[in-house]
Amino acid sequence: MKQMAGQHPNRRPYSAAVPGEAAALRPPSFLFWSAVHVLCCLVSAALGFRFSRLLFLLLFSPASHHHHLHHDHHLHLLRQPPAAVIPSPPPPRPDLPPPPPPPAVAGRVGVGRHGIRVRPWPHPDPAEVARAHEILVRLQQEQRLRYGVKDPRPVIVVTPTYARTFQALHLTGLLHSLMLVPYPLTWLVVEAGGVSNETASLLARSSLPVVHLPFHEDMPVLWNDRHRFEARMRLRALRVIRERRLDGIVVFADDSNVHTMELFDEIQKVQWMGALSVGILAHSAAPDATAKRQQRASEETSPLPIQGPACNSAGQLIGWHTFNSLPYAKKAATFVGDGVTVLPTKLEWAGFVLNSRLLWKEAEGKPNWARDLDEVGISGEEIESPLDLLKDASSVEPLGICGKKVLLWWLRAEARYDSKFPTRWVIDPPLEIVVPAKRTPWPDAPPDLPYQRIEYEGSHVEKRVSKKVRSSRSKRSSHNKKKHETHVDTQVSDMSSAQEK
Amino acid sequence: MLWRSFPPYQIMKKGIWFFSIVLCPYLLLQQTNGQTLEQSHQIGNIEGNVGDVLEDDPVGSLKVFVYELPSKYNEDLVEKDPRCLTHMFAAEIFMHRFLLSSPVRTLDPEKADWFYVPVYSTCHLTKSGLPLPFRSPQMVRSAIQQIASNWPYWNRTEGADHFFVVPHDFGACFHYQEEIAIKRGIMPLLQRATLIQTFGQKNHVCLKEGSIVITPYASPQRMQAHLLPPYIPRTIFVYFRGLLHDGINDPEGCHYARGARASLWLNFKNNPLFDISTYHPTTYYEDMQRAVFCLCPLGWAPWSPRLVEAVIFGCIPVIIADDIVLPFADAIPWEDIAVFVAENNVPKLDTILTSMPTEVILRKQKLLANPLTKQAVTFSEPAQPGDAFHQLLNGLARKLPHDGSIYLKPGEKILNWTAGPVEDLNPW
């Protein structure tokens, strides 16, 4: 099994071979052969591999010639002993001839040297990899059947969204998370501003059943208004669930949130309404000095703000952990794309899950502490959190070991509300002018001297920042002028000269 | 003709009719009951029971007498080096402790079927924790001298009804290097005794007829501490952690593991389905529970605690060791649980494993999930019914009753006390 390092005197298993051979030779020629052996040893010392053994075996064992012929076709299966694999120095050796027969053991496996069988193309076969994945999927299915949730209910996901720069980023992430959910899923996507091609093309990439609902008002720019607007969008989706009598567990998945897979297993336990812990990733997007101070301050107070149910030691709901917005009072973002922290509302919708039967007009066993959906939100009522859908908030079930497990994270990261992006993130037709980024080396460009135009230390920073854009273009334009004489040059030089002004 | 009018005969005839009418349906019922019982047992079998043999209870089938050797042979060694309690050879220590308080123990040697000699031959450890076998034969010899001089039972049979636990690499050959172990052979004094060892390979000098092959020791508490809930999905296809190339003892390769481990590495290091490396992570046990197949290739010796760990964690063991004799082979159906791959077929391992039908893999996983199988390979503390101690005792019980020929005639001597290498004859 495990061996000790050099604790025992003789470790050479095949040293038996040499005395055997020597003994077989006649005494009169012993001196001659030993001289040859010494010569071979010197040659080996010079060359760096065991020359004598190879020579002896090749020349002086006629019986094993058959051996060689027989084993020839093995040699391209048998690779060299892993001299290449060992990091320490042994130099590359020629293919070792097959080993001397091992000491007599009655069994068919013997001690001694064996070849290391390596197939000629030791790389995975894609068909086999695909088959292995099929096997894994089937095994995991079986595991879920045996040990997972019994009688899983379908999941209904409600997502408010709208077409904007970062929509592709967030929605694709959510899409992939939902595609991994092992339960039957229906995705209700409510889009502000009506149904757009952007969103439709993103949703078409999933194989999930999506209900794409239009909401014919535009998303407001101010965050406070936006939170209220999203609540109305979600209510719209809940009304659709009520109309169509969709069955399952309703999850409010905002497109920029991050969800764990355990969330979807945990919500299967909900009876009527459940509350989860949401980790709030409220930090500023802009990496500048003010943000760093902010981060340090928030780190001093608490590691990660969490919104969710609060329980007593018996596991019963006694209250709520809400987001403390005092540290961020002056630095909160007001409009979408503001460079400072975006704050969540006191209790985010994402932290609640409902049984869809709570929304139906009539359902068996529907508790009387739930308000009828038609009465909610009609008379201009402010719906801040799903708790407003209930008359009595005390019968909400805490999930995730009574809120100790954080099952999703709330995050808002948006570009400026007026930022532009290419439709469906496709640049068609392709751009005429392609300028490499500063760090990409143009094949035969002259060496870049970025700081030649700085005049004095004071304006060092500013000059450098603006110079980045300029210098590359000017360098390239001059280069282009030399090499290509198309109208492209004039355009580029025009642009660079305009910028320099 | 006379007997027909004989009154008892009439009664008898009536009786026969009566009995047949009453008993037949009863017997039929019994039959069907028995059948349904058997059927349910069989259905139980398909679900996961691996056999009745696992459930045999050794208590009542045998009696073991434990020799009280001076503590220099056992306890003192453990006190000096408590690492002996956690390494893979600890079965000898735990077997002793189990027998001391077991109901199979008898204090009267005349009633005993088996005699146990508690000598911890693998408890001389180097600084790095590996056992040195050089003094083990001396120790065993000295222990036998003790029992031969203080009790008459050794000389009565020259050890044929005694058993020893020798869990070292090559059992009672007492060496870690295979060539030297083969050259030494099994210690002459133990020729007649029953050996309980972890090493098992067909037609090998170090496995003699009648030896009982047991599982190596793996700490049940440590394994329990790392158990994951069973619904965690198994996402790794093939998993292996261990030495792939022994650079210290076999720097040129081709010798360690008969080239099988090096072949594994060279063929599959680029394969995304194979998670194999020498790096031993802290999440080793958790990773095994997230893997479908766990490789158990031979090393310097064909056995390894990896097999036990794979069975406990529900990972299908892939045994790459030609001619290996697996532990408790009469109780655990290894062919149904494990996958056997010949060493020559290692380059085709990915093809072999991916071409297995999914039903076969599911069935193996179901059999592995059976708690009886897991129990049978653990040396649980405290001992539980059906665990490795019980399987060991069952093995001993199946060798009973002893053949009369083991008892020697007075004055007869079979063993040669001076046989073996000269160093072994030194006093301990």
Residue A390 sits at φ, ψ, to 5 deg, of -115, 155
Closest residue in chain B to residue A110, using alpha carbons only: B258
User: How much is the average pLDDT of A379-403?
Assistant: 82
Any chain B CB within 8 A of the CB of A12? Answer: no
Compare A27 and A466 and report the one with higher pLDDT: A27
Instruction: Name the residue among B229, B235, B354 with its Cβ closest to that of A131.
Output: B354
Q: Is the pLDDT of residue B267 over 80?
A: yes
Q: Is the pLDDT of residue B103 over 50?
A: yes
Which range, A150-164, A319-333, A388-402, has the best average confidence (pLDDT)?
A150-164
* Summary count for chain B: helices (H), strands (E): 16, 10
d(CA A83, nearest CA chain B) in Å: 7
Closest residue in chain A to residue B201, using alpha carbons only: A107
Contact between chains at A5 and B248 (C-beta distance less than 8 A): yes
d(CA A396, nearest CA chain B) in Å: 27
Q: In DSSP terms, which residues pair with A413 in a beta bridge?
A: none
Percentage above 70 pLDDT, chain A? 64
User: How much is the average pLDDT of A106-112?
Assistant: 68
d(CA A126, nearest CA chain B) in Å: 10
Contact between chains at B203 and A3 (C-beta distance less than 8 A): no
Contact between chains at B178 and A111 (C-beta distance less than 8 A): yes
Any chain B CB within 8 A of the CB of A82? Answer: yes
User: How much is the average pLDDT of B60-67?
Assistant: 90
Quote the DSSP letter at residue A147: H
Residue A305 is predicted with a pLDDT of 86
Residue A459: other Cβ atoms inside 10 A:
11
d(CA A1, nearest CA chain B) in Å: 4
Residue B59 sits at φ, ψ, to 5 deg, of -65, 125
Residue A190 sits at φ, ψ, to 5 deg, of -100, 120
Looking at this protein, which amino acid is placed at residue A188? L
Lowest mean pLDDT segment, chosen from A240-249, A435-444, B290-299: A435-444
Q: Is the pLDDT of residue A91 over 90?
A: no
- Report d(CA A351, CA B135) in Å as an integer: 67
Lowest mean pLDDT segment, chosen from A294-308, B159-173, B289-303: A294-308
Q: Is the pLDDT of residue A494 over 50?
A: no
Contact between chains at A86 and B245 (C-beta distance less than 8 A): yes
Give the count of Cβ contacts less than 8 A between chain A and B. 177
Q: Is the pLDDT of residue A10 over 60?
A: no
Tokens 């290509």 belong to A484
| A189 band by pLDDT with thresholds 50, 70 and 90 | very high
User: How much is the average pLDDT of A63-76?
Assistant: 42
- Report d(CA A238, CA A389) in Å as an integer: 11
Q: In DSSP terms, which residues pair with A274 in a beta bridge?
A: A353, A397
| B15 band by pLDDT with thresholds 50, 70 and 90 | low
- Report d(CA B194, CA B214) in Å as an integer: 13
Angle at B397 between CA B394 and CA B402, to 5 degrees: 160
B216 and A118 in contact (C-beta within 8 Å)?
Answer: no
Residue A424 is predicted with a pLDDT of 85
Residue A188 is predicted with a pLDDT of 95
Give the distance, in angstroms, between the CA of residue A376 and the centroid of all CA atoms in the same chain.
40
Question: Which residues 229-268 in chain A show a CB within 8 A of chain B?
Answer: 265
Contacts of A401 in chain B (CB under 8 A): none
Q: Is the pLDDT of residue A468 over 50?
A: no
Q: Is the pLDDT of residue A197 over 60?
A: yes
User: How much is the average pLDDT of A42-57?
Assistant: 69
- Report d(CA B195, CA B199) in Å as an integer: 10
Lowest mean pLDDT segment, chosen from A275-289, A311-325, B68-82: A275-289
Contact between chains at B258 and A79 (C-beta distance less than 8 A): no
Q: Which of A214, A161, A164, A170 is nearest to A423 (CA)?
A: A164
How are beta strands A249-252 and A352-355 bridged, if at all? Answer: antiparallel
Compare A497 and A139 and report the one with higher pLDDT: A139
Residue A292 is predicted with a pLDDT of 57
- Report d(CA A208, CA A186) in Å as an integer: 7
Beta-sheet strand order (sheet of A155-161): A210-215, A185-192, A155-161, A249-252, A352-355, A273-275, A397-398
Any chain B CB within 8 A of the CB of A94? Answer: no
Residue B82 is predicted with a pLDDT of 92
Residue A294 is predicted with a pLDDT of 58
d(CA B183, nearest CA chain A) in Å: 9
Residue A49 sits at φ, ψ, to 5 deg, of -140, 170
For residue A31 the two structure tokens come to 């001196």
- Report d(CA A417, CA A165) in Å as an integer: 8
Contacts of A119 in chain B (CB under 8 A): 267, 347-348
Q: Is the pLDDT of residue B383 over 50?
A: yes
Q: Is the pLDDT of residue A313 over 70?
A: yes
Residue A142 is predicted with a pLDDT of 92
Q: Is the pLDDT of residue A131 over 60?
A: yes
Any chain B CB within 8 A of the CB of A103? Answer: yes
Percentage above 90 pLDDT, chain B? 66
Contact between chains at B259 and A2 (C-beta distance less than 8 A): no
| A295 band by pLDDT with thresholds 50, 70 and 90 | low
- The contacts of residue A228 (CB under 8 Å, 6+ apart) are A382
Residue A363 is predicted with a pLDDT of 81
Most A CBs within 10 A among B180, B258, B278, B345, hence the mutation to make, goes to: B258
Residue A293 is predicted with a pLDDT of 59
Q: Is the pLDDT of residue A233 over 60?
A: yes
- Report d(CA A256, CA A159) in Å as an integer: 10
User: How much is the average pLDDT of A145-169?
Assistant: 92
Lowest mean pLDDT segment, chosen from A272-281, A293-302, A479-488, B225-234: A479-488
Q: Is the pLDDT of residue A331 over 60?
A: yes
- Report d(CA B70, CA A51) in Å as an integer: 57
Compare A499 and A197 and report the one with higher pLDDT: A197
- pTM value is 0.69
Average pLDDT, chain A: 74
d(CA B86, nearest CA chain A) in Å: 16
Tokens 């399987």 belong to B391
Instruction: Name the residue among A4, A111, A139 with its Cβ closest to that of B182.
Output: A111
Contact between chains at A122 and B365 (C-beta distance less than 8 A): no
Q: Which of A367, A149, A355, A349 is nearest to A241 (CA)?
A: A355
Contacts of B322 in chain A (CB under 8 A): 108-109
Give the distance, in angstroms, between the CA of residue A163 and the centroid of all CA atoms in the same chain.
24
Q: Is the pLDDT of residue A100 over 70?
A: no
Q: Is the pLDDT of residue A437 over 80?
A: no
Quote the DSSP letter at residue A72: H
Residue A189 three-state SS:
strand
DSSP notation for A215-226:
E-SPPPSBHHHH
Residue B8 three-state SS:
helix
- Report d(CA A177, CA A185) in Å as an integer: 12
Instruction: Name the residue among A4, A115, A147 with its Cβ closest to that of B254.
Output: A115
Q: Is the pLDDT of residue A474 over 50?
A: no
| A380 band by pLDDT with thresholds 50, 70 and 90 | low
Residue A113 is predicted with a pLDDT of 81
Instruction: Name the residue among B126, B204, B233 with its Cβ closest to that of A4.
Output: B126
Residue A130: other Cβ atoms inside 10 A:
11
B196 and B394 in contact (C-beta within 8 Å)?
Answer: no
| B355 band by pLDDT with thresholds 50, 70 and 90 | very high
Q: Is the pLDDT of residue A444 over 70?
A: no
Residue B80 is predicted with a pLDDT of 93
Closest residue in chain B to residue A82, using alpha carbons only: B253
Compare A17 and A244 and report the one with higher pLDDT: A244
Instruction: Name the residue among A8, A117, A140 with its Cβ closest to that of B263.
Output: A117
Average pLDDT, chain B: 87
Instruction: Name the residue among A82, A108, A134 with its Cβ closest to that of B266.
Output: A82
d(CA A398, nearest CA chain B) in Å: 22
Residue A93 three-state SS:
coil
- Report d(CA A338, CA A226) in Å as an integer: 14
Contact between chains at B230 and A132 (C-beta distance less than 8 A): no
User: How much is the average pLDDT of B336-341?
Assistant: 96
Q: Which of A234, A186, A242, A228 is nearest to A209 (CA)?
A: A186
Residue A469 is predicted with a pLDDT of 41
pLDDT digits (tens, 9 = 90+) for A413-433: 888 888 888 888 888 888 888
Q: What was the ipTM of the complex prediction?
A: 0.82
Closest residue in chain A to residue B168, using alpha carbons only: A1
- Report d(CA A52, CA A33) in Å as an integer: 11
